[in-house]
Amino acid sequence: MRLDTLLLRAARRLSESGSPSPRLDADVLLCHVMQVERSWLYTWGDRQAEPWVQARFEALIAARAQGWPVAYLTEEREFWGLRLMTGPSTLIPRPDTERLVEAALAQADSESGRFLDLGTGTGAVALAFACERPTWEVVAVDREPAAVALAKANAQRHGLTRVEILISDWFEALGKRQFAIIVSNPPYLASDDPHLALGDVRFEPRSALVAGKQGLADLEALVDTARDQLEPHGWLMLEHGMQQGAAVRSALEAAGYEQIETVCDLEGRDRVTLGRWPATTER
């Protein structure tokens, strides 16, 4: 079968299954199988697909039609210009989380400093920051060994081996170390959030998505515990749900943080809230 015919048939199947981007998904999956760029497919679409290519591609299309995320099927996703390996042990890096990187970079204006990423998953935020601030000390932690292994593999893949990646339940393994910037994209969905039954989220680890107190438990815990790990004038930055900005700002204010603000995502929704720990305040 010709490649262009194979793609059209696959896109039709994905459209019937409810995929939001059937042709793009089909293109990406065939490129993954053949290890080519999309432009190659459009240039050489009249070529015949080899039997092994067709079989592998159709298996991936079947999985995608059942809802499996493209990032898990291709085992990679681009974030901040980095091609990161992905897997079911971690969340899929999303463009909205780049706002967390941008917020951190905006405050990292010194030549050196210490940066911590809590619940790093694929390592996306820590590695993106390390690319932009090569003279900073960058530490990333996750409580899941599989996630730590994946983050280390991504660091190795991009030559960012100076980034320290540790197994740790939040601050547990860090002792009394303090940081100028602490960031996290913690679990922030309520257990009954309807998004858990939609799209890619259905296949992502619940432990990285759901928190108690209607999604606020981990956010509030980090606001409290981060105070002991922040340097004077250090920043805490938390990604959260679009309706949680006010609650996170209130928690930061009650805990004694200053210069509190919320950054919106590309669609104008509350996405990242940050606060600065003062120089002289009881912790």
% of the chain beyond a pLDDT of 70: 99
pTM of the model: 0.93
| CATH number of the domain within which 221 lies | 3.40.50.150
Identify whether residues 38 and 130 lie together within a single domain. no
Domain termination site, one of 48, 67, 86? 67
- Rounded distance between C-alpha atoms, residue 64 and residue 125, angstroms: 27
Environment class of 184 (CB within 10 Å of its CB; exposed 0-12, middle 13-18, buried 19+): buried
Is residue 243 included in any domain, yes or no? yes
Give residue 209's domain range.
77-276
Domain termination site, one of 12, 43, 67? 67
Identify whether residues 102 and 238 lie together within a single domain. yes
Identify whether residues 143 and 212 lie together within a single domain. yes
Tens digit of each residue's pLDDT (9 = 90 or more) over 174-233: 999 999 999 999 999 999 999 999 999 999 999 999 999 999 999 999 999 999 999 999
Tens digit of each residue's pLDDT (9 = 90 or more) over 233-267: 999 999 999 999 999 999 999 999 999 999 999 89
User: What are the structure tokens assigned to 132, written together?
Assistant: 């932009």
Identify whether residues 205 and 224 lie together within a single domain. yes
Is residue 281 included in any domain, yes or no? no
Identify whether residues 49 and 121 lie together within a single domain. no
Tens digit of each residue's pLDDT (9 = 90 or more) over 105-127: 999 999 999 999 999 999 999 99
Q: How many domains is the chain built from?
A: 2
